[in-house]
Structure 1
């Protein structure tokens, strides 16, 4: 679920719960590349001159040991291309479904932030109101007081709230269902990281509280509000928030894998209970739907201008050149400019990507969390190369 450790640019650059596992697994399979929206080039030409996205996916499978890699790109003219590499199922060797569904981890945070900011635009939530205003008496702990933490600080990870993921790593793989309040209780056992507003540190606990605020203010489940306010509004036909107890992925998808210890075989973790991720990382989508979402968001299709401007006001993420806004991240491009997105991971899947103000968009997914920070940087390099081509 996590996107950044605060020291390096990665989504949980570690396995869920803060423990990354080695994923050096040589996949001896043919690489499959596909395109949509354009006529496919001849086999000889494609083999001789694959473009940046296909080359990047090939390398993720060949060099980083990813069982599968998927990407969807949108160029300045609005043309879409879809790519795959590797295999969708290691047991059968089946092809990777084109634009298959994956668990999108912390990209969910951007959806949650959009709903909160829509409520801000409606005058129902105040960005600088305290958590106590909406959840009285709920947030108390060692150095933690909901009367001192604002909604803005939740969305921007400047609240100082401690992370809970390391304590639920086993739950998500053992198919244990956790209510949001259960997750919050786990987080509040820990001491605050810092006083609110004095620093920045990524913590999914912030978004559990943001989701609870949405439910308190609207009187409706978070999943229903996301569906009504975002998914149906902009036509994300392959995106959904799994219902309680739903451990499957509905549509065609590549299987997700995890390596528990160095040297151990990859095991199938496709079907899990994602409830502990909730507002911070529970959703399922496709690369093409994520492109549509981030493009619509930047174009003003989901937020009023004032709230979009607030969302895009960032704080630095260390010395990386990236900045964290309200549930969205700006990253510099090697060719100049920047793109906006989030990224995320959850056992079995890691996603990276985003969109530019000029309408370009790229999202990449792989079917195992990379073994180290370098692996995540390789995925981000594919995004950069595809956006800059």
Structure 2
């Protein structure tokens, strides 16, 4: 029992050092002037795959219609919806007379097939992508295009954070997104990117074709973003990929409606950790699980009485404080302000959440819009 506190605090020291290292690479973007409207006028195609999104489509379509870029083609790719989403989208396009909007039916099954069909239908060399449950800033396109002014850049990624109307669960999701952004930024800054989100991404069409699209991982239910990132990095090098953290390109996604939906989504993402070619993905997953087990194991200290209880309190106080300052640094960049109580809840809840996601990714088939994956596929 006497050796346990040493073990716990040694593990905590490593974790806190990692947090400090990750947050040291997060620099609040300097204020820059907005892209001058009309100053950049080459064509851009925005791909939005969707499946059974009837609830989200009205807001999405209006949001896309409000984008200010003048030479934008919007391609909505229907991935065999069963709820009338495609009919709703078609009627809206006809009613609003949006000549730059195109609705197409995917020729294959799954999001990757839908995206590949969208690339074929795109009339521009610059492709931007987002998801059907997202909201984009009006000048998002112009500001995503800035990086492509460099001819070496083949791919650009941006930040994603869930929205929140209040409530501990929604704040928990925002804090968890902050941890994702912190890690994403760190690995991009150290020239070893391992993750990004297709909800806020862009690439050159010719580069996509050069890589063979999603060939080699088309059977995976998710990963259209991170697998493509790996291929870009391997073929073109780190100088070809940019990560933009500016609030002007922040994409907001709808929070999950409940814990079951949230865990299913995250386990679907986590299920591909061992399919990547880069060792960093596996190391990160194992380290996260290991520290979560350590944090949960500190409950043993409560049974030691006296000084052990004090050690338990010190352990969690340090964990909460360091997480608050590290993750809040990210959230402040985007004017997202969860209350301190939400950070306390997230700190205690996160280890259990990580283990739940890990278990589900190995043993529970994940679902997406009515489709079920095969565990270990």
TM more than 0.5: no
Structure having the larger proportion of residues in helix: 2
Query: TM (normalized to structure 1)?
Result: 0.25
Superposition TM-score, scaled by structure 2 size:
0.26
